Each structure stands twice: as C-alpha cells, then as structure tokens.
Chain A
Amino acid sequence: MYPAEFDYHAPTALADALHLLQGHDGTVKVLAGGQSLLPLMKLRLADASTLVDIGRIAELRGIREDGDAVVIGATTTYRDILDSAVVGRRVPLLVDTVRQIGDMQVRSRGTIGGSLAHADPGGDLPATILAVDAQMTAAGSGGTRTIAARDFFTGMLTTSLNEGEVLTSVRLPALDQARTGSAYLKHRHPASGYAVVGVAAIVRLAADGTCQEARVGVTGAGSQAMRAGGVESALQGKALDDATLADAASHAAEGLDLLSDPYASAEFRGHLAQVLTRRALAAAVARARGGPGA
C-alpha cells in the first residue's frame, strides 16, 4: 500500500517541533517510531498533510534514574527499554510488558511515547502505566505540564494531550521496594498481537504477609485502559490466599466499557479480565514473597 502525499519535517530541537505543530494548516501529525501511524497512513485510514518527525530530537530519547523513579524519553524505543539494566532492576513490570509488545521488529522502532499518545485500546503499555501511577510530561507552546496516568487516557484513541502538544517523557515510580511483586499477563490477539486483554498487577505485602497495597491496570478489554479499583480494594489488608485472589479478581471488569469484535465478545473479554487478573495477581504475589523487585 502507498501513503498519500504529505510534507515532512524532522526537527532536531523540541522547540522547532512545537513551532511546526503550531504553524500548519491541514492535518499535522507527530511521527515517532511510526509503527502504528505508518500502517494506518498506508491503508489511507489516517491522513496527514504534514508529518513532524520527532525521532531526531536527542533530548526526547533516553532512560535516566531520578530518585525513586525512572524517567524515559518519549522516543525511547521498546528495544532500548529491554536493553536497559536500570529499567530491568527498578521497574521490572515495564520489561515484562514491553517484551510482549508487537514483535522483534516492531520493538526495534516502536516508542513508548508514540504508543501512549496513540492510545490504542489494545495497547499493552496503558495497563502498566496506570498500575505504576506513571506521570507523563507534555510540552506545548504554553510550556510543559505533567499529566497523571489516570488522567491521560480519555477514550478510544484519545488522550488528554492538547492539539500541538507533544508527549516528551514518562516518569515511572520504581517498584524495587521490599515485599513488592508485579506481573503483566496478556491474552494476545492471534493475528495483530495486540492485547485482547492485558492485566498489569503490582502487589506490596505488609510485614505480616497481608496485602498492603495492590494496583491493577486493565487494558484491551474496554475502550480505554482503566485501574481495577474494585479488585484493589478487595485485596486491601487481606491475607492473599487463592480464594481471596479469585474473589478480588471477579471485580476486574467492573466499570469497563467492554469492547466486542469478531475475535472476542464483550462477555469473553470480561471473563478474560477476571482470569488474567487472578493469574497476574498470583504471579505478583509469588514474586513479592520471593524478595525485593522479584
């Protein structure tokens, strides 16, 4: 397939990119890794009169530690994340998630920021971003602002980013505390590889082994990724036996606007959300018991 014509700019400074995003008539789109956008443009399902490629802006790429968090630039590729010892040590849940995204080639090019800004309901990252309570930084003509993960996703393929704004980095609180475990499990669409349902679970145990805190993000099942509040509160302070996990997991689909497609109905997605939540929690608990950052 062949994309329609467009103008192309590849600025090397963020300020130039922001300027380009302001100054155009027609449809301007930000191009990061292109792994979602270019296929859509080839099928002429998305069109843009101008593409602003942010892939050459050095300040947008890279991984650094910042106190109790890891900050990842928007154009950092999945592959960069998998190769990063820092991420592996401090936010293992992100590695667990990223290695299940797309395929090897997509992971070479796809970027954390591009995926989040695209906000595909079948994206994997949103579950994890929500579960870790990440913070997004966005830059626009009026300066930069921080957006909490909970406020970032606003619907199918939509985010709270404003027109002309660029997502610049993601800040993920580290998970390498004692008695903390995490896991990302997904039911993968057999053709597209997207998450039919993906569940990111983080469990922190109290010294007595009960649940001090549980955070669960669910993606794929609904039109947008959400935190599974009902699951989290059902675990609070509880001893984490199988029955408790199963009972808590039964709340996994609450509040989700369940999607339905020829591969998986809303009912099945709701069911999978429960099963995967139970299993992700069990895996997270096992890791929490296994030691810090396990």
Chain B
Amino acid sequence: MAVTRLFGSSVKRREDPRLITGRAMYTDDVKLPGMAYMAILRSPYAHARITRLDTSRASKQPGVLAVYTGKDIDGKLNPMPCAWLPKDSDLKVPPYRALALDTVRFTGDGVAAVVATSAYIAHDALDLIDVDYEQLPVVTEQTAAVAAGAPQLHEDAPGNQAMHWRLGGGDVDSAFRDAEVVVRQRIVQQRLVPNAMETRGTVAQWDPGMGELTMYNTSQNPHIARFISSVVTGIPENKIRVIARDVGGGFGSKIPVYPGDMLTAFAARELDRPVKWVETRRENFVATIHGRDHVQEVELAARKDGTVTGLRVKAWANLGAYLSMAAPGVPTWLFGTMVTGCYTIPNFAVDVFGVFTNTTPVDAYRGAGRPEAAFLIERMMDLLAVELKMDPVDLRRKNFISKDAFPYTAASTLQYDSGDYDMTLDKALEAVDYKALRREQEEGRKQGRYLGIGLSTYVEVCGLGPSAAAGAMGFQGGLWEPATVRVLATGKALVYTGTNPHGQGEETTFAQIVGEELGLPIEDIEVIHGDTAQISMGWGTYGSRTTAVGGSAIILAARKVRDKASKLAAHLLEAAPEDIVFDQGRFSVKGSPARAKTIQDIALMANVAWDMPEGMAPGLEESHFYDPVNFTFPFGAHICVVDVDADTGEVHIRRYVAVDDCGLVINPMIVDGQVHGGVAQGIGQALYEGAIYDEGGQLITGSMMDYTVPNSTQIPTIETIRTETPSPVNPLGLKGVGETGTIASTEAVVNAVADALAPFGIHHLEMPMTPERVWRTIEDAKRQSGTTPATPGR
C-alpha cells in the first residue's frame, strides 16, 4: 500500500492536561461507595509446605470483613492460565493458583488474603494470621536447578525443565567444522525488576442484579485481562468489564493478569461490595513479574577475513516458580528468531531450556527476548573483532545485510521488511567523530586514562504481528487490532482503539492520523482506549505494536469514513463521486472549487440522514479490523563513550548517541522520548540493575533502597538522531519505537566498558557493571597478566 501521509509534527500531547494537573485516574485513584480494601499475606519462604494456617485471630479483628486461604478459593477460582504454549516444546504447565493450596514455591507466593474496611486494618490483620511452614530445599539459579539432585518444584516437571525449544537454519555443524576462527562466551543476562512507577492494583465491583463484574485494573491490555478473568473466575466474558484508563507505566509487567487481580474480583463477588487491592512496592518486587534472567553459552564461527559463518546458542531461561502468562514465548520466539541480528549469518542453531526455580515468575520486560538476542550478537561481534584484531566497525560492515537485499529472508525465516544498516552506522560514527575518539583513546591509554567506545548496530522484530504467525508460535491469542472512527453531528470525532497506550502518547499520534486523514482539527478528536465496554476488542500495548498495528487499523477506518463522506458529498453537491476532490477537510467538485462541503457539513448531514444517496446507511462511522501482513524491523546504531576510573571501578558515560530508524515518524517529540526512556532502562541493566536472591531464596534487592532504579544523576544526556526508512508492511510506513532504546543500549554500554579495559586484557564483563565488579575485573586481570598498564597521574 502506498504511503501517502506526511506526518512529522511534534504536536503537544493530548493526554497531558489531566496528568499535569493531578486529575488523572490511575487505579488507586478509584474510590467507590462502600469500598473495602484487600491485602495479601505472602510467603516469607521460597519453598515450603504449609503445615498450619489459622486465620481466626485475623478474622476476629474489628474491621476485617473476610480472610481467604487457598482452600477457600479452591474450586472457585481456576488456576492462572499460561497464554503462550510454544509448539513442539514439551512445555509443562503446572497449576498456578491465586493462593497456594499446600506448598509455596517462591518468596511472595500468595498464602492468604484479608479484606477489611481500611487498608491499614487489612495490613494489621496480616500480622495476625498464624502460619507454620515446613521449609523445603530451595533452588534459585537455572543451571543449578537443572543439575542432578536439585530440589524439585513441580511433580510434572522432572529436572525442573519447563521446556526445551529449538530453532535453527542452515547447517551450523558444518559452519563450525569449517570455521577458521571460533569465539565463545558465556553470557549472563541478569534478572531485572520492571518497577513501573505505579505498582499494580485492581478495584473490583460486582453487580449482583446484572451478574456483572467491573474491574479497574492497571493493564496494558484490558481485553486480554477480560478474557483471562473469565477463564479464572468462570464469569462469562460478556459479563466482565475491564477499565484501565490511566496506567502508570508497564514495560511488560502489566501484560499478565495476576493472582491479586483475581482475588480482588473473587472478594468483591463474595462480599458483594467493591474491593480495592493495590500492591505496596515491596510486594511489587516479589509478586510482579521479573524480566530477562538467561544464562547463555554462545559460539560464533567465522573466516579470518571477518565473514561470520555460524552462530550456536544454548540458553537457560529462568522462568521462576510458575509460568506467567506470556513467559514461554519470551525466551523462545521473541529471542531465538533474532540472534543473528542485522548480519548475514547463514547457519545458526538455538537451544533454549526453560527452567522452574524458587523465584518470582519471569515474563516480558521492555524488549522481551530481543534485548537478550541483540546483546548476545553485538557482544559476540566485538569479541570476534578483538580476536581478529579488526575494528568493530569494519567487522560489522563486512557482515551487514546489504540495503539492496530487502525484503531479506534471514536464516530464521523471518522476512526483514526494510533497512539500511550502513547509513545509521555512518551517522552515529559521524556524530561522535569516531576516528578522533580512537586517537584520543590511544593517547589516553599511555597516561592511564581508560576511554571506551561501544557500538551497537541492532535490528529488532516489532509491530507484533500477524495473527497467523501468533498462532504458529503458540501464542493463545491474536495480534490484530480493531479501530472505529465515529464523526458526530457536530463534527467532533471519537476514535476507538483496542491498544492501551500508557505513556507512549497515542492519544495524540492517533489523533494526528485521523486529523490528517479527515482534515479535522486535532482538538476535535478524542481517542478512547482502556475500556472493554466501549471498545469491541483489542490485544493491547506491547511489542512496539500500538502504532504499527493499532494505528494502521485507525488510518484504514478513517479512510473508509473519508470514502463514505466523499460519496455523500458527491450526492449533496450533485456531482459524480469520481469528480470529488478532498483536501484538508473540504470535499469540492473537480474544476469548481467553490462547490464544496466541509467534513463538518458532511458529518451533520450523515448523522441527521435527511438526504442520503440510494443505499447509503445513515451515520458517519466506520470500523476496520487490521491484521498486519508481517512484523516490522526497526534498526539503528548506538554509540556509547565511557571513561572508566580504574581506581574505583566507576563508569562515566561521556556521550551517548542513538541513531534510530523506526520508519516514518508521526510525532518526533514522542519518538525521541521513547528512545530516551528505552536507553535509560538499557543503561540501567548495564550499570545498575539486578535482582539478587540469597541461597534461601530471599530477594535481597527487594526495595528501591537496594535495587537501583536509575535516578536523574545516573542517566546521561542522550543524543538522538532519526532516520526514516519506510516499512512496506503497513499503511503508515512505520515500524514502532517503544523498545528500540532498551534493545540497543545495554550492549553499547558493555561494549564501551570492555573496549576501555582492553589494555588490561579484559574483553567481557558481567552486568550490572557496578564499581566493585569493574574494579575486581581489573584487579583479577592485573594478577593474571602480572603486568600493569599505565596508571593515572595523581
């Protein structure tokens, strides 16, 4: 489909006025008459049998309305379903109950729920529930969990293996047999805690007369929440309404439906009064999904001239104690398909082992699988460059998929839509003056100054995605989007989307699309999302799909509206339909511009329907159900420049340049904002963030005092450069930008630090690269080599 739109205007966001005046409606802001408050007692142990559970003291507490245990909900709430079941992967799906029945399997597993007249009383009552636990052996790390003799979590998952999944292309064994050079590295993608600033929560209201459940829920995808809630509660899907108006960040953690959500719904129905449950942050740390957590063994085969010929990956993905909703899809399809990155690597093989451990369930966190893939290949390219003593720029260029090769079918069988990898790399190199930096690096090293330059030339798969592909991958849902555009009699428009933007700005960009298509002023367009009673269906906001898929549905619905309006204009102007010219909200007759009707005139006439052409229905409203024909493949080049203080191990990011190509851009301001935030999270992983469990399975980084969510002094200024290579797969020509920053940045930072420390013989570091880790790596390297490079003058 031809791309005809020219967007590119940094329109101020339509969603902001309510957000900056304190008038937004996040879930915790909902207050209903008679509302009660729920709190959840969570297991203090990572693995234990519950031998006694006595709620009588708590129940007698004044203000306590009910206390529920696993036995109370047994048979009334079904286990939490897993919604991604990769085919041919022998996946085990052990029951994941909203409250444990007899065994708890991670610190934070639900044991009981208290409902009381105030949140304070509910939390007081938690201390009055008497539980005896018989502790069981604990395993938290995935390679330990699959080792012989490890504690077993689930009877039906021997060896704690949830699944073994494979993907490959070409002939990887021959590639390695014939390789002139092979580089190997064990890579640990540490576990991250998403930490959306708003914790999760639900307010549930039961209408006994109608038999209807209304749930205000912090969800990225209210329709999926409706679907899952129906499965768990047994309430028919058409008797459930989910509302998620303002959501305070998600980053993947608000895709799943959680036990707490279902307990809130259960309690509201049992008690016949509204119930609110909002996580504390401490609770969020243990009860909301975590991200990443891979251990990878990676091998890269190449010829001496730098041509990469093969890639072999074995990855152990820690899935936590139970399968979160999309968990099995993240380390498989969203990871394995992208390990060859932007390079022509003809032979590859990926083996992924999903592993149960006594930890919080792991699921999608911004990028979801693709950061793990991009990190892997970009890290390996640097290691190969070191091995071959090649400049990492030259090595990358040698292996890039050429811009003439698109659409390019990779060994993974994915078809990359469009790209020009040399162009984005050129721009990034120019922006930092790469040659000058290399000269400075060489000079500095003589004086004990450690400057590092890190590259990341990434490509990602976004715009999820064709529903047929979803089905083929075992995703238990579709990935299409509906849209409705309704123009009212007064010329004001309502636009309905099944995606649920929560910070990404689509209340604005979608209005820009419709405004441009129909010639309506943007302030006359209201974008409605986050309410299953208003929007027919939707698969939500994640996977950088909101604009690529939801926006495409909208532009096609808007075009239908315009077509109808054009026909009505022809009728009213007594002209032939083919003689109507549309320009900026005016329908005029070819050759006589004065004979015209505005879109507002047409909206009025369509809505009153006094004079419709033969066979035309009244109203000015159209819907479109859009299913993309392919994924999109945003790409770019990021360069991070660091100075490392070898005395203290501190890493200072001197410059960060991000060149991103997410196809055509509707709102540059918003696109840049997405890149800033994504890069910040990627830098967070590289330098600051990491969940740590102790041997007993306690999350010792379980609060914002221990787990570093980067603050304003820890994130540098990010220089953004946009290039626009249109995507041919959707009518907007865009690719999506929500995850690029996170996918691209972590490896740029690690590559920079490894580059800085090359004089010590250091070529790889684990994350987060805390001062101690950097310092220790340097000290170890010094000891091993017995030599010391120049030290800084004091």
Binding site for B on A (CB under 8 A): 1-2, 4-5, 43-44, 187, 190-192, 242, 246, 262-265, 268, 271-272, 275, 278, 282
Set of chain B residues within 8 Å of A268, measured between Cβ atoms: 771-772, 775-776
Stretch at the interface among B143-151, B493-501, B699-707: B699-707
Query: Does B775 lie within 8 Å of A1, measured CB to CB?
Result: no
A-B complex: 8 closest residue pairs judged by Cβ atoms? A191-B708, A268-B772, A192-B705, A190-B708, A2-B123, A2-B120, A242-B794, A1-B280
B282 interface hit (Cβ, 8 Å):
yes
Q: Which of A43, A190, A264, A265 contacts B688 (CB 8 A)?
A: A190
B780 interface hit (Cβ, 8 Å):
no
B307 interface hit (Cβ, 8 Å):
no
Set of chain A residues within 8 Å of B776, measured between Cβ atoms: 268
Give the secondary structure class of A's interface: loop
Query: Does A246 lie within 8 Å of B280, measured CB to CB?
Result: no
B391 interface hit (Cβ, 8 Å):
no
A181–chain B nearest beta-carbon distance, Å: 17
B75–chain A nearest beta-carbon distance, Å: 32
Set of chain A residues within 8 Å of B648, measured between Cβ atoms: 187, 272, 275
Query: Does A263 lie within 8 Å of B707, measured CB to CB?
Result: no
Query: Does B705 lie within 8 Å of A265, measured CB to CB?
Result: no
Contacts of B726-781 to chain A: CB distance below 8 A = 770-772, 775-776
Set of chain A residues within 8 Å of B794, measured between Cβ atoms: 242, 246, 278, 282
> In whole angstroms, what is the CA distance A2 to B281 when docked?
12
Set of chain B residues within 8 Å of A5, measured between Cβ atoms: 124
B132 interface hit (Cβ, 8 Å):
no
A225–chain B nearest beta-carbon distance, Å: 20
Q: Which of A4, A192, A246, A263 contacts B770 (CB 8 A)?
A: A263
B155 interface hit (Cβ, 8 Å):
no
Q: Which of B124, B706, B714 contacts A262 (CB 8 A)?
A: B706
Set of chain A residues within 8 Å of B770, measured between Cβ atoms: 190, 263
Q: How many A-B residue pairs have CB under 8 A?
A: 52
A109–chain B nearest beta-carbon distance, Å: 17
Contact A1:B123 (CB < 8 A) given known A187-B648, A191-B708, A275-B647: yes
Query: Does B706 lie within 8 Å of A192, measured CB to CB?
Result: yes
A196–chain B nearest beta-carbon distance, Å: 9
> In whole angstroms, what is the CA distance A268 to B775 when docked?
8
> In whole angstroms, what is the CA distance A278 to B648 when docked?
12
> In whole angstroms, what is the CA distance A43 to B280 when docked?
10
> In whole angstroms, what is the CA distance A2 to B280 when docked?
9
Number of B interface residues, CB 8 Å? Answer: 29
Query: Does A191 lie within 8 Å of B123, measured CB to CB?
Result: no
A122–chain B nearest beta-carbon distance, Å: 10
> In whole angstroms, what is the CA distance A35 to B705 when docked?
13
Set of chain B residues within 8 Å of A282, measured between Cβ atoms: 794
> In whole angstroms, what is the CA distance A1 to B285 when docked?
13
Q: Which of A44, A190, A192, A262 contacts B127 (CB 8 A)?
A: A44
Contact A262:B700 (CB < 8 A) given known A1-B280, A43-B282, A191-B708: yes
Set of chain B residues within 8 Å of A262, measured between Cβ atoms: 692, 700-701, 706
A89–chain B nearest beta-carbon distance, Å: 28
A103–chain B nearest beta-carbon distance, Å: 8
> In whole angstroms, what is the CA distance A279 to B794 when docked?
9
B206–chain A nearest beta-carbon distance, Å: 26
A218–chain B nearest beta-carbon distance, Å: 15
> In whole angstroms, what is the CA distance A268 to B776 when docked?
8
A287–chain B nearest beta-carbon distance, Å: 17
B83–chain A nearest beta-carbon distance, Å: 32
B709 interface hit (Cβ, 8 Å):
yes
Q: A190-B714, A242-B794 are in contact. List 5 more A-B contacts (CB 8 A).
A: A190-B688, A262-B692, A263-B706, A265-B772, A272-B648
> In whole angstroms, what is the CA distance A275 to B794 when docked?
11
> In whole angstroms, what is the CA distance A282 to B794 when docked?
10
Measured CB to CB, the nearest residue on chain A to B779 is: A271
Set of chain A residues within 8 Å of B706, measured between Cβ atoms: 191-192, 262-263
Could you mark each residue 236-248 of chain B with 1 if its beta carbon is under 8 Å from any beta carbon of chain A, else 0?
0000000000000
> In whole angstroms, what is the CA distance A1 to B127 when docked?
13
B119 interface hit (Cβ, 8 Å):
yes
Query: Does B772 lie within 8 Å of A263, measured CB to CB?
Result: yes
Set of chain B residues within 8 Å of A4, measured between Cβ atoms: 124, 127
Listed A/B pairs (23) with beta-carbon separation below 8 Å: A1-B282, A2-B123, A2-B124, A4-B124, A4-B127, A43-B282, A190-B710, A191-B688, A191-B704, A191-B706, A191-B708, A192-B705, A242-B794, A246-B794, A263-B706, A263-B772, A264-B772, A268-B771, A268-B775, A268-B776, A272-B648, A278-B794, A282-B794
> In whole angstroms, what is the CA distance A195 to B467 when docked?
52
Query: Does B120 lie within 8 Å of A191, measured CB to CB?
Result: no
Query: Does A191 lie within 8 Å of B705, measured CB to CB?
Result: yes
> In whole angstroms, what is the CA distance A264 to B706 when docked?
12
> In whole angstroms, what is the CA distance A278 to B791 when docked?
15
Measured CB to CB, the nearest residue on chain B to A1 is: B280
Measured CB to CB, the nearest residue on chain A to B712 is: A103
